[in-house]
């Protein structure tokens, strides 16, 4: 298992356990956070997203690094509506695609996309 895969796996474990402090400890101070509602940076943005959404993410495939990033098809469930996509009821998981980047042993970017076609190519 590569270091990046290990970090992203531990990030998921912390998110799904609701352990926001552990998630933040796995992130770079300038972590990029992006999704359909826009992009931003920083640990406080990550904290706010996790608190508002109370999200759980279940990878639907093996976590593998390719071209310097990890792209995962995931089932996401928002337990609050603050960051839920309009078409996804919070009581049922929804398909989503998340691109992770890891730098110096920490998650440096997390960007969520609503379809596989929305994920930009590596480069």
Q: How far apart are CA 14 and CA 18, in angstroms?
A: 6
pLDDT of residue 89: 47
State the DSSP code for 93.
Answer: -
Residue 51's H or E segment, with its range, is: helix 43-53
- Model confidence at 88: pLDDT above 90: no
Whether domain 3-117 has CATH 1.10.730.10: the reply is: no
Q: How do residues 59-74 score in pLDDT, each as one tens digit?
A: 999 999 988 899 999 9
């Amino acid at each position: 298992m590569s270091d990046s895969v290990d970090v992203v796996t531990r990030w998921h474990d912390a998110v799904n356990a609701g352990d926001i402090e552990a998630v933040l400890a796995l992130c770079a101070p300038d972590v990029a956070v992006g999704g359909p509602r826009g992009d931003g940076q920083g640990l406080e943005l990550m904290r706010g997203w996790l608190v508002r959404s109370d999200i759980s993410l279940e990878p639907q495939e093996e976590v593998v690094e390719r071209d310097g990033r990890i792209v995962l098809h995931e089932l996401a469930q928002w337990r609050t509506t603050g960051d839920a996509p309009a078409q996804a009821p919070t009581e049922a998981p929804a398909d989503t695609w998340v691109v992770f980047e890891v730098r110096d042993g920490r998650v440096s970017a997390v960007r969520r996309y609503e379809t596989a076609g929305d994920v930009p190519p590596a480069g």
